[in-house]
Amino acid sequence: MRGSSFRRIAIGVVVIAVIIAVIYGSSAPAPGEGFFGRLWPILNEFALWTAVQLGLIYGFVALGVYLSFRVLDFPDLTVDGSFPLGAAVTAALIVAGVNPWLALLASIAAGGVAGLITAVLSVRFRILHLLASILTMYALFSINIRVMGSSNLSLARQETILTPISALDLGLTAAQTRVVVIGLLLVLTAAALAWLLTSSFGLALRAAGANPRMARAQGISTSRSTYFGMALSNGLVALGGSLFAQTQLFADVTVGSGTIVIGLASVIIGESLLRSRSIWITLAGCVLGSVIYRLVYQWALTKDEICLGFCLEFRPSDLNLIAATIIALALILPRLGAGRGFR
């Protein structure tokens, strides 16, 4: 099909080049330092573990966004609301004394319902998918405040899923424990998702997104596929939100803003690094993309200027611009390639 190898190479080169250029250009040019020397000492150990931990949490978001954007071909902005929904439900339940694992499951269910609402608005009532998801996301802002009773909730000194594990005294720092626990959960989730997507049922889900007309002719109900896929996608994102609350020890209605961009960036970075037809590798790519995005983000937070030949004052708030630019470039470049070769 249209220049798929060109597309792969183009995205990969751009993403990697941007990351390297920004890192290289902005690290202080110390005399006598080699090329790699300038690249490496970018994060201290604390920042590194924080970044990996957030990267893994947002790995769930990346899996969810992969499911909606890539598998179902459904651009879903609900995630900006279902991520804080997951955090809010978990925080509220834990504060109310509910077992943190139950709170986690409840968050997944809540996210699933949110996704289902978007899917019903879009499939059953024919509202444009993007608009349907924006409506749900918008409404979730109010819901999340209702759930928490206020716009934020602290989990300081509350029991979380990490409390009993930290008590085991495995010789790990708190940050490392979090990375191990979240990493394990993420690996299990990704494996379950990969298994699902390679089953007969999952193949039908992929067909419903890729070629709905063909899917219906093969007896697949595309509306039911969308309901299920959207519920699962937002359940995954809410799971990420729940883990966010349990590791960062707070929930806030504003933590969801930009979730979709982070998820999409992770998926795109992952695709450019590990492009494969294998679902297993693709899902691993999503997770890897999320961690890389977070590493770059964390590193950028430590910078106060970006030098690419000339120097610009840099603020953390500029990250939105950078992330949006990278995503836009990654989406534009393959089209340019396709336009040249065909038609």
Partner 1 sequence: MIRVSGLEVTFGRGTPLEKRALQGIDITLEKGEFVCVIGSNGAGKSTLLSAIAGDVLPTAGRIEIDGIDVSRWPTAKRARLVSRVFQDPLAGSCADLTIEENLALAASRGQRRTLRHAITHGRHEAFRARVAELCLGLENRLKDRMGLLSGGQRQAVSLVMASLAPSSVLLLDEHTAALDPGMAAFVIGVTNQVVVESRLTTLMVTHSMSQALQVGSRTVMLHEGKVLLDVRGEERSRLTVEDLVARFQNVRGGKAIDDDALLMG
Q: For residue 108, give both structure tokens.
A: 């997944």
Cβ closest to partner 1, residue 198 vs residue 248: 198
Note whether 291 and 187 are within 8 A (CB): no
Q: For residue 180, give both structure tokens.
A: 């191990």
Residue 112: which H helix or E strand, with range?
helix 100-123
Contact window for partner 1 (CB under 8 A) among 50-58, 130-138, 145-153, 219-227: 219-227
- Which residue type is seen at 310? F
Contact window for partner 1 (CB under 8 A) among 11-19, 94-102, 127-135, 218-226: 218-226
Q: Which of 175, 203, 281, 307 binds partner 1 (CB under 8 A)?
A: 203
Q: Which of 10, 181, 193, 204 binds partner 1 (CB under 8 A)?
A: 204
257 is a site residue for partner 1 (CB under 8 A): no
What one-character-per-residue DSSP string does 202-248 give? HHHHHHHHH-HHHHHHTT--HHHHHHHHHHHHHHHHHHHHHHHHHHH
Least spacing, CB of residue 94 vs partner 1, in Å: 32
Task: State the Cα angle at 4 between 3 and 6, rounded to 5°.
Answer: 65
1 is a site residue for partner 1 (CB under 8 A): yes
- To the nearest 10 degrees (0 to 180), the angle between helices 319-341 and 279-301 is 140
221 is a site residue for partner 1 (CB under 8 A): yes
Number of Cβ within 10 Å of residue 77's Cβ equals 22
286 is a site residue for partner 1 (CB under 8 A): no
Cβ closest to partner 1, residue 78 vs residue 222: 222
Cβ closest to partner 1, residue 177 vs residue 233: 233
Residues in the interface with partner 1 (CB under 8 A) total: 25
Cβ closest to partner 1, residue 8 vs residue 38: 8
Cβ closest to partner 1, residue 22 vs residue 194: 194
What one-character-per-residue DSSP string does 74-99 give? ----THHHHHHHHHHHHHHHHHTT--
Cβ closest to partner 1, residue 134 vs residue 268: 268
Q: Compute the CA torsion angle 290, 291, 293, 294 (nearest 10 deg).
A: 120
What span, in angstroms and rounded, lies between the C-alpha atoms of 153 and 157? 12
Q: Which of 46, 101, 138, 201 binds partner 1 (CB under 8 A)?
A: 201
Interface residues with partner 1 (CB under 8 A)?
Answer: 1, 195-196, 198-204, 206-207, 210-211, 213-222, 277
